[in-house]
Amino acid sequence: MNAASKLTPAAIGKKFPMIAARYALHGDRPIGAPSGFGAVWKARDLWLERDVALKFSDRDMADELCLCRDIEGQTVRVFDYFRAADDWNAYAMELLEAPWMGVGRFIRAHRYRPDDLQHYFDCFEIARSLLSGLAQIHGRPYSRKQKFVHADIKPDNLFLMVKPKKRPDTVFRMPPAQRLVKIIDMGIGTAQGNPVLAYTPGYDSGERVARPGVDLYATAITFLELLTGERPDHHTMRHKARIRRFVDEMPSGAARIDALAVEFASNCASAYTRPGETVRVHARHLDEQVFGIGEQRLLALRAIHRHCPGGGRKDELADLLFGVLARPCGWRNRTTQRIDTLKEVVADLYGAGLLVLRGQRYFTA
Ligand SMILES: Nc1ncnc2c1ncn2[C@@H]1O[C@H](COP(=O)(O)OP(=O)(O)O)[C@@H](O)[C@H]1O
Ligand SMILES: [Mg+2]
């Protein structure tokens, strides 16, 4: 337990009279996950009549706060910075409450079960959003300014907007990537090229130079943890075959989708060994390999996975797909021609490696 999390409201009031004058702490303990250096409280800003989060630490947090301010986009908004007489520090920031949820909490609350293909699609969306947030921290490839490494990517430092929508025309149901994930806790973030002081051990690539690859390694672990509910160890992360066995314990039920998850995790995990590599490569990879599969194919895959776990002949699957694709296609009546089109969809899924064929029957895995 760090010094900040031992502070009582009375002790905080004594240390920070200016905070006591303006904010009313909520409850008798900090909110959120047990953490490294600070303690975060929910509080009421009595002047503005808004709830905020207040973070306290015995360390200087000026850099952390400036980093949050400089990064545009997927991080928390910060408001005021306070310094106590004895070098304690605090800052007020936007409070992340429902529909926001810490990814660590999300993982603990999620009911993991094998063959949850929709969960895989959700995780790909979350990964894509995390990459776009990281791109903002890492900065533009050829710019000299504002290139940082977060150096503490892990579920407890990520928040998710949990607001899924049912959409008839796509399997992707999360808010758009720019709004889905927020990256918090810039406490040990540093400029690229500096030494990495302390990565949380379970997410630490071992690379000591701050480069995008160290955050990508932690992203790979976080992604697999989100996918399966278990954090893979470093031994697993060193080889694609081990990652594959790890994912096999909690598969999606669609072999091709498992393979894409394994490939993404394994590419990100090895990125720290390639000094010039940026998150953009991996974002593009997801855009092409996962999101580029196309809505219609993924809807068809999900329907076959959901309704025909035992597989089916081409005509059986075409019949099933009518129920799913008629609406996005704007069809009312079932005609032979349309069923023929849907047979072609099945053939196309097979051609794209999304279905496997055994005898006359097509399966998702
Ligand atoms: N703005 C916020 N709104 C709600 N909860 C927060 C906020 N910032 C942090 N938390 C919670 O407090 C925990 C600790 O905050 P963090 O900034 O990560 O501190 P530390 O540097 O001690 O790890 C987080 O994991 C999260 O659960
Ligand atoms: Mg933290």
DSSP state of 96: -
Residue 168: per-residue pLDDT: 84
Closest ligand 1 atom to Cα of 32: 27
Compute the distance from residue 102 Cα to the ligand 1 centre, in Å: 9
The CA radius of gyration of the chain, in Å to the nearest whole number, is 24
Among the residue ranges 62-76, 191-205, 209-223, the one predicted with the least confidence is 62-76
C-beta of 31 in contact with ligand 1 (< 6 A) = yes
Residue 72: per-residue pLDDT: 78
Residue 143: per-residue pLDDT: 67
Segment 340-351 mean pLDDT: 97
Among the residue ranges 34-43, 223-232, 286-295, the one predicted with the least confidence is 34-43
C-beta of 158 in contact with ligand 1 (< 6 A) = no
Compute the distance from residue 145 Cα to the ligand 1 centre, in Å: 27
Fold type of domain 4-94: Phosphorylase Kinase; domain 1 (3.30.200)
Residue minimizing CA distance to atom 19 of ligand 1? 38
Sequence ranges of the domains in the chain: 4-94, 100-293, 295-363
**Smallest Cα–Cα separation from 293: which of 351, 343, 338?**
351
Residue 265: per-residue pLDDT: 98
Residue 144: per-residue pLDDT: 65
Q: Are 98 and 163 in contact (CB under 8 A)?
A: no
Compute the distance from residue 156 Cα to the ligand 1 centre, in Å: 8
**Smallest Cα–Cα separation from 257: which of 119, 60, 111, 73?**
119
**Smallest Cα–Cα separation from 131: which of 256, 216, 52?**
216
Architecture of the structural domain at 100-293? Orthogonal Bundle (1.10)
Could you give the C-alpha distances from 300 to 126, 140, 216, 273, 323, in angstroms and in order?
Answer: 22, 38, 32, 38, 10
Segment 238-260 mean pLDDT: 98
Residues 106-156 pLDDT 10s: 999 999 999 999 999 999 999 999 999 999 999 976 666 779 999 999 999
Residues 34-74 pLDDT 10s: 777 899 999 999 999 999 999 999 999 998 999 898 887 89
| Bridge partners (DSSP) listed for residue 361 | 358
Residue minimizing CA distance to atom 18 of ligand 1? 185
Residue 328: per-residue pLDDT: 84
Compute the distance from residue 200 Cα to the ligand 2 centre, in Å: 9
Phi and psi for 111 in degrees, rounded to 5?
-90, 100
